[in-house]
Amino acid sequence: MTKTKKIIISVICIILAAVIASFGIFCFIKKENPIEAAKDIFTPNSEKIVGIWESEEHPGLTAYVFDDDGTYEYYISTAGFTGQYTLNGNNLKLTKTGSSLEVEYKVSISETTLTLITEADALGNEKEVTKFKKVDQLNQTSITDMIGQLKDSVTEE
């Protein structure tokens, strides 16, 4: 083997080692399983979005269910709305059934978190970031139950 080939192979090995070490450090800092993190990198958003997503900030209040056939259900409390979705890269468009109402988001999807981002609009509404966690089942709470929980928490204080 020539000296040039040895140098090229050595440089490639050093770069590979640096990439693997960086990935390991990333997983350690994020407290992620390296296998899940690698799977997350190579799984397209169109597969990752399928499932049940519950609001991190308001569990039981809002949730999405995305099916692999391009349909979705959106829940506010126990009231459900349906529609179609399209996902192109990091752009998600939701169209409500029986309506011309469309909402567009920038999305970030990991194995366990769906982040929906709206851009600032012409009406002066600011950019909004909403996070959802992936769950196995819907855990929606009725408005009546939420009011009861709120009353109980106020009474305790």
- pLDDT of 13 reads 76
pLDDT beyond 80 at 45: no
Q: Look at residues 65, 74, 62, 120 and name the one whose alpha carbon lies nearest to residue 101.
A: 74
Burial (CB < 10 A; 0-12, 13-18, 19+), residue 69, is exposed
Q: What is the mean pLDDT of residues 81-87?
A: 94
Residue type, 95: T
Residue 31 main-chain phi, psi, to 5 deg = 55, 45
Which sequence spans correspond to the domains of the chain? 3-42, 47-140
Q: What is the end-to-end Cα distance of the chain in Å, rounded?
A: 78
pLDDT tens, residue by residue, 103-150: 899 999 988 899 999 876 666 666 888 999 999 998 888 777 777 777
- Fold of domain 47-140: Lipocalin (2.40.128)
Query: Would the pLDDT of 35 be above 80?
Result: no
pTM for the model stands at: 0.67
Q: How confident is the model at residue 41 (pLDDT cuts 50, 70, 90)?
A: low
Q: What pLDDT is recorded for position 36?
A: 63
pLDDT band at 79 (very low <50, low <70, confident <90, very high): confident
Q: How many residues make up the chain in this entry?
A: 157
